Amino acid sequence: MWDAFVAVFSRDLLQAWRRRADWLTTFFFFIIVVSLFPLGVGPEPALLRTMAPGIVWVAALLAAMLSLPRVFGTDHADGTLEQLILTPQPLVVLVVAKVGAHWLLTGVPLALMAPVLGLQFGLDGAPVGVLFFALLLGTPCLSLIGAVGAALTLGVRGGGVLIALLVLPLYVPVLIFGAGAVEATVAGTGASGHLSLLAAGLLAALVLAPWATAAALRVALE
């Protein structure tokens, strides 16, 4: 199973490198959306610090959702997905490999870039560190939940709109606790409660989402 996991994970990274323009679009979308808000709102430091957590998290959520059709779409189009389902290894393991590759290509770059973008809003010190750590905990949840939506809409016309309708309500708790952690740090009340809830959500998604995704893929390909 480990060899199968590494093979699928490496293959997805190699394919992403060959189609790196698609993944760079997601990254630059995040940067542009976050950078436009200070220009539109104005230079008021207190207002920007108040808005920063929500803006960064909404932009990260939209950027992650923008890349969801590519999680299974390419493999479905060329027939690779059917071969993966027929392999003797558990489909759940292969799903985790694909979701892990998606997170490495989207969530990690967004988390690394967020502290730099936070400087535009006057965030520094502890709030920037909490923003980075919250995104590291929250973006895997976005990938895991999004994979379920991508599997349910696989091969459906207008699947991008359906993914948004399916996953956006499930993203709301991640958005609330992720942005709330930074807001609590700025207010001086501590972010441990919000980060603990994010970690609990990540554990729940790790346990449930791969099984739900595997079941949805089997239904979609029958």
Measured CA to CA, the distance from residue 8 to residue 98 in angstroms comes to 7
Q: Give pLDDT tens digits for 59-117.
A: 999 988 888 888 887 777 777 788 888 888 888 998 999 999 999 999 899 999 988 88
Q: Is the pLDDT of residue 222 over 80?
A: no
Report the b/e string of 39-63 with b at 16+ CB within 10 A: eeeeeeeeebbebbbbbbbbbbbbb
For 171-187, what is the mean pLDDT?
Answer: 89
Best mean pLDDT range from 7-11, 44-48, 160-164 = 7-11
Taking the C-alpha atoms of residue 217 and residue 205, their distance in angstroms, rounded to an integer, is 17
Q: What is the pLDDT of residue 42?
A: 74
In this prediction, residue 153 carries a pLDDT of: 84
pLDDT in tens, 149-178: 888 888 777 666 788 888 888 999 999 999
Q: State the Cα–Cα distance between residues 183 and 57, nearest whole angstrom.
A: 12
**pLDDT at position 204 over 90:** yes
Amino acid symbol at 78: D
pLDDT computed for residue 11 by the predictor: 87
Query: Residues near 67 by Cβ (< 8 Å), separated by ≥ 6?
Result: 22, 23, 26, 102, 105, 106
Smallest CA-to-CA distance from 187 within 101, 127, 105, 113 is with 127
Considering the chain, what percentage of its residues have pLDDT values greater than 70? 98
**Ranked by mean pLDDT, which of 42-51, 197-206, 211-220 comes out on top?**
197-206
pLDDT at residue 196, as a whole number = 92
Instruction: Give the up-direction half-sphere exposure of residue 38: CA atoms within 13 A in the CB hemisphere.
Output: 20
Residue located via tokens 């958005």:
175
Q: What confidence tens digit (pLDDT) does each residue in 123-146 have?
A: 777 888 898 999 999 999 999 999
